[in-house]
A and B are shown apart, each in its own frame.
Chain A
Amino acid sequence: MRVLIIDDDPILIMVCSRLMNITGFSQAVASSRDGKEGMEYLKTCLQERPAELPDIILLDINMPVMNGWDFLDLYRNIERELPNKICIVMLSSTVDQADYDRANSYEQVRGFYSKPLTKENLPEIKALVGI
């Protein structure tokens, strides 16, 4: 299972990748600091190493440079070119219902989790992959 975490909080990235390593959820966790970097990562993979394309993306909403929503809009444009669909899961500390509703309106988004991510969340996320 390959995972890409897009979040501007380095502590969260570190914590999440450790958690996934420990639990055996994934040994290949990549990260990007904002949506723009995430998108560049995906494009590079697609062109150069399609095998390294992630199976799951954990996506934050509030990020500098490019936030999660803008990333999603761009992702929709490249989705067709991908060999397999990527399971996108929102991971945010928002308490605003509007954010949940907005995330629901993207068919690419398969789940929504509040920070912090716990061990208990991981099996659920795994179940979302491949739907």
Chain B
Amino acid sequence: MDELSADSIKEKLRLLKEEFGVEHGYEELQKRFLQLQAIFRFTLDGQILLTKSGVILSANPAIGKLLGYTAGEMLEISRKDILDESEEQIQEMLRIRNEKGSFQGEIHMLHKSGQRIPVEISTVLFEIDQESFASVTVRDIRPRIAIEENRKKSEALVKLLMENTEESFFLLDKDLNIVSLNKTARLMSQRLLNKKPEPGTSIFELAQDERREELKELYAEVLCGIKRESEITIPQPDGGYRYFLIKYDPLFDEQGKVQGVFVNTSETTAIRVAELAFQKQKALFESLVQRTTDGTVILDTDGTIRFANDSSKSLLGLNPDAVVGTSGLDLVYQDDLKRAQQALADLVIYPDKPLEIEIRLLNDVAKPVWCELRAVNQVMNPHIGGLVVHFHDISARKAQEAELYESRKSLSQLLNNTEESFILCDRNLKVTAFNQAASDRNETINNRPMVIGESLLTTIASYRVDQARELARHVFKEGKSIKTTAHHVLANGSSMLLALEYSPVYEDDGRISGLCIIGNDVTDIRKAEAALLSSRQRLMNAQHIARLGSWDFEIESGELLWSDEVYNIYGLDIETDKPSERLVYKLVHPEDVTPFREAVNAVLDGRTDKLDFQHRLIHPNLKQRWLHQRGELRKGENGKTWLVGTVQDITEQKAIDHEMELSIERFRMVEMATNDVIWDLDLETDQLIWASTIERVFGYSSKDPAINDMRWWESKIHPEDGSRTFHSLYKHQHSNEKIWTEQYRFLHADGSYRDVLDRGYTVFDEEGKAIRIIGSMQDITETINQQRQIAEYADRLEGMVSSITDSFFTLDKQWRFSYLNPVAEKEFSVDGLSNHNKIIWEAFPELQKSELERLFRKTITGKKPIQFEHLLFGKWYAFNLYPQNRGLSVYARDISAKKLEEERLRLLESVITNTNDAILITEAEPLNEPGPRIVFVNEAFTRMTGYTAEEVLGKNPRILQGPETDRKVLDKLRNAFLAWHPVEVEVINYCKDGTPFWSNFSIVPIANEKGWYTHWISIQRNITERKEAEVAQKLLNEELMKQNYGLEQFSYITSHNLRAPVANLMSLLDLLDRQDLANPSNQELLDMIDLSAHRMDETLNELIKVLKIKGETNPGFVQVCFQEVYNRVLDNIGALLQDAKGIVATHFEVPEMAYAASHIESIMLNMLTNAIKYRSPDRNLMIDISSEAKDEFVVLSFRDNGLGIDLNRYKNRLFGMYQRFHNNADSRGLGLYIVHAQVQALGGKIEVDSDVGVGTTFRVYLKNTFDARINH
């Protein structure tokens, strides 16, 4: 190997420079220099120039960085220091290069630290002045390897997940052909649909015929980017159904276009079956109870809160009672109000679309709290009738997100371009972030590391502090970037020239939050430029290898220059095609033209300082390619401005990236579609990697490094499940089984244990040793809870059904008894043997072709419940038939007793109808207006009252009452009604035609089986005849009483008025001295005996008179003139009247009447005698006698001004015999009695008015109805 001395190379380079200078002048040279500098700056690939023998002449920063050497160090090492291959391999490589002039391949290089780095190299030999040089382009292929590994891994995961789940997956392209599907999908299709789907066939081939149209519409929507869900029901041969929930998720490419569909099917039969059973409770249960830790409110469609659960109190501190009735929007933080209103409107307008939104709600102290809201429209749900909103506090998460956002923002700035050093400071110039380059450089320059949180001013070299402070102040003030250079003398005596750029860091809201210092070591560039200038050829080669072209564009003239490789990349001919801006845009994919122009303009306008744009290229002959344009503005010393840049073909890279993205996207989709948490356990290191879903499912941050340890997982397992789970995993590792499955309880970050189903899939190395387990962990708490609930519900239902006292059984579609409750077992058995699983028509052949069979079948075909009563096995049953998906439910109640009762009632009814007593039934109430309604009357009622049933039904019985109806009786009735007592009354009622009749009512309250009174039954009888008879009887009785009174009076006379004088006579005679008759005391006694005997004679005469009046039925009627009779009486008592100094005035308005003359004379005599006898001693007697006509009577009145009678005391005895009211000597008590007897005997009466000390008036009513007798 011939070695070149460093001096000779330098000489050649100088010559080369001179040569260029001659040919193109300084300007050209400057242009080239810039071009080369750009290449060096922008290529990420390492570039090394070395002699044929392997001495490194020049190396760019990228290779130095890759291998860990500084630019200076790179020049001091040789090829063998950086190659990590065996000597044979190196020789083979060199041989190929030397023979063919170039070599390309993948080898390993050695980092300064000794680390092995896989790289792709291409090396080219070229000659300058018969000296051979080698140019080597080195590309770090570690990212590619990592990507490939990741891709393989994630594909394995996807595959694993897809194969090891009970959910089926289909991945469809945008033509809806199957791209891939998992085992479950295959099995399900085969079992349920009897179809064998294969990749490449259309998904529609799987569809049930009747669903095809529906599915087409559905997929059309999904292809428009809308997520859909549908549920299908597949009938089973056993008559049952299986339910499946299918989710259709559109898959988007990076432009947001739908490129396919992800179809995920899971069976929901178990849940659906239970759901059907307790749908009612479930609606509320699910919405309200299931998520107890969530706040739950129910809103009306206008946002008014109708209900808030207790959790809303713990979350927001709001009293549920206080918020009910207020608007839910009042709780929303002002800044989020518009979004909340929109969301509410959407929820109301699109009721099928659940709402998920993150907004701030105000708590009890009006502080905004970040909450995640999930809302469903349950307005049509009759049990809820509103919008159900669940929410929970996500402030913590939000805070984390904000932090993450901050760190990402900083990070992205940092990692933009690793060749440059970055330092980020806050406004106080405290270092908040820096990149490796900055750290390295600082160490090189200042010999101290950078520390986050330290002041920038203490970090940088002391002699630059003032400058830095001044620059920072300027940046903060002006908000503009400032460029400067800084020259450093390093410890080893070499110098370093840094190009520094101080830029402001902006917040979202435009505030300057900090400072970014970008530093570029321009020392190396200046060194390298010399080396690169040495060879145009080398440049071309390097560009070609890297598929990297360079270009420069003079802005003012529009002149564009391309390196040769640009022609290759664009697919143009270097001879015929001239570089122009127009040509470039013509080649750019039409969709990318505008953004590309915009990116270029942004640089030209100074909005950004670097061009970095990827676009597609329409190659005239070749396939579509991806190009990466990078560039920046450079100012020449003559004031001209160039846009200088490179273009690189990145098609291959793009393809890998794209594939990777797709793969990651699929992984993400699967991750999203399932709630499984994927984990990856490295069995050698016990390192455990979790998918990010762990955060969503179990609440642990996937970024927390603590979770990446096997021991962490162990610590989260429920102590009771721990040893079993570890043991089974341990056992699994040492078996050859591929699949590990375990169910255990796993601690959620919220402190609760979740039931999980964990499935692991072991990966073995070539020697069959288990090296990794990849698994998926599924939270099945809800499923288990649901199963538990379903089981409990089933128990409850079973208990309910078996405890009912009526028969209940179900029949399946084959008419087999699928369930019989204990009563049904008893009633519907044959010879005591259960009919379970027997076909009803075989168990009871007599039912075949019966009406019952017809109705059973009708229920199933009509799909509507039917109720009827039917005679079966000698008993009457009330049947309720309910159609079910699986057959028929039959509820049969034995109503034989009821039927018997009904029969009896029917008999009773016929009796009631035919009886002669009127029967009227009313409802029990109301007793007040409008009164109880009549619900029944029989024919007898119609006969009695004239009212037909139609006329009175619905009215109340008061229509029968009328003016003569006795109110007292009605009150009695009412009181009985109020007390629910039976009552019997007699009252005058009225027929329809107004005729009154006496009615006997017997009214009884009727109670139902519970003892509540529901009706009154009244039985009525017309008792008018009886009543009339009673009146006659009463009259008779009165006459009898009168007669009796007469008799009593008579006995009184005998006892008193006759016995007393006789007793006196006897006593007097007893006292008589019979021995000595001449005894003077005898004389007195004899006088008394004489008196007594006369008295007795008078009494006897009067008695005879009385008897005569009483016996006198026709005393001889004549026309009697009152004045004449008065005159005759006056003849008799004239002397008496004169003694009493009485004056009599007569005024006979009716002068005469037909009457018994002796009676009128007796009346006048007695009345006048009485008036004289009982005259007042204080005044002269005045008597007034008059006659007048009144009705059928002639009234004779006698008015005096005598003593008067105390009527309160004596009225009842006034006309009795021998009643005396004055101790008047003449009074014997017979006069008024005789007058009364006489008047009464001829149908009249006597009235008396009297005031003691004022006078008395007697009015004698003489009946005037005996005219006929006169003629007679």
Contacts and interface: CB of A to CB of B under 8 A. Distances in A.
Contacts of A8: 1220, 1223
A62 interface: yes
Interface in B1071-1092: 1071, 1088, 1091-1092
Interface string B1056-1075: 10011001101110110000
A11 B1223 contact: no
Interface string A81-104: 000000000000111100000000
Nearest to A99: B1055
B367 to A, nearest CB: 95
A50 interface: no
B1223 A116 contact: no
Nearest to B1209: A70
A64 B1227 contact: yes
Interface string A39-58: 00000000000000000000
Contact of B1221 (A11, A65, A115): A65
A129 interface: no
Given A64-B1227, A65-B1221, A115-B1059, A11 B1071 contact: no
A1 interface: no
Contacts of B1220: 8, 64
A18 B1071 contact: yes
A34 B1223 contact: yes
A122 interface: no
B679 interface: no
Contact residues of B: prevailing secondary structure: helix
A62 to B, nearest CB: 6
Contacts of B594: none
Contacts of A96: 1051-1052, 1055
Nearest to A18: B1071
B1218 interface: yes
A2 interface: no
B1222 interface: yes
Instruction: Give me the 9 closest cross-chain CB pairs, A-B, nearest first.
Output: A116-B1063, A95-B1055, A64-B1220, A15-B1067, A115-B1063, A116-B1067, A11-B1064, A93-B1059, A93-B1060
A14 B1055 CA distance: 21
Given A11-B1064, A15-B1067, A19-B1071, 9 more contacts: A11-B1088, A15-B1064, A16-B1067, A33-B1223, A93-B1059, A94-B1055, A95-B1051, A96-B1055, A115-B1064
Interface in B514-563: none
Contacts of B1222: 64-65
Contacts of B1227: 64
A117 B295 CA distance: 113
B1066 A93 contact: no
Contact of B1071 (A9, A12, A15, A115): A15
A93 B1132 CA distance: 34
A65 B1055 contact: no
A33 B1222 CA distance: 11
Contacts of B1055: 93-96
For chain B, give the interface size range. Answer: 20 to 34
B1052 A11 contact: no
A14 B1092 CA distance: 13
12 contacts: A8-B1223, A12-B1067, A15-B1071, A62-B1218, A65-B1221, A65-B1222, A93-B1059, A94-B1056, A96-B1051, A116-B1064, A118-B1067, A118-B1070
Contacts of A115: 1059-1060, 1063-1064
Interface of B: 1051-1052, 1054-1056, 1059-1060, 1063-1064, 1066-1068, 1070-1071, 1088, 1091-1092, 1218, 1220-1224, 1227
A96 B1053 CA distance: 11
B125 to A, nearest CB: 165
Contacts of B1059: 93, 95, 115
B1056 to A, nearest CB: 5
Interface of A: 8-9, 11-12, 14-16, 18-19, 22, 33-34, 62, 64-65, 93-96, 115-118
Given A64-B1222, A65-B1223, A14 B1088 contact: yes
A96 B1071 CA distance: 29
A19 B1067 CA distance: 9
Contacts of B1052: 96
Q: Which of B1220, B1222, B1227 lies at the interface centre, i.e. has the most chain A CB atoms within 10 A of its CB? A: B1220
Contacts of B1223: 8, 33-34, 64-65
B1051 A93 contact: no
A118 B1051 CA distance: 24
A70 to B, nearest CB: 8
Nearest to A116: B1063
Contacts of B1071: 15, 18-19, 22
A12 B1064 contact: yes
A116 B1062 CA distance: 9
A19 B1066 CA distance: 13
A9 B1056 contact: no
Contacts of A12: 1060, 1063-1064, 1067
Given A65-B1221, A65-B1223, A117 B1056 contact: no
A95 B1052 CA distance: 8
Nearest to A12: B1064
Q: Which of B1054, B1068, B1091, B1221 lies at the interface centre, i.e. has the most chain A CB atoms within 10 A of its CB? A: B1068
Nearest to A70: B1209
A114 to B, nearest CB: 8
B1069 to A, nearest CB: 10
Contact of A9 (B1054, B1064, B1070): B1064
B1056 A11 contact: no
A38 to B, nearest CB: 12
Nearest to B1061: A11
B1056 A93 contact: yes
Contact of A64 (B1067, B1088, B1221): B1221
Contacts of B1054: 95
Given A93-B1060, A95-B1055, A117 B1218 contact: no
Nearest to A60: B1060
Contacts of A93: 1055-1056, 1059-1060, 1063
B1087 to A, nearest CB: 10
A64 B1203 CA distance: 14
B1064 A117 contact: no
Contacts of B1218: 62
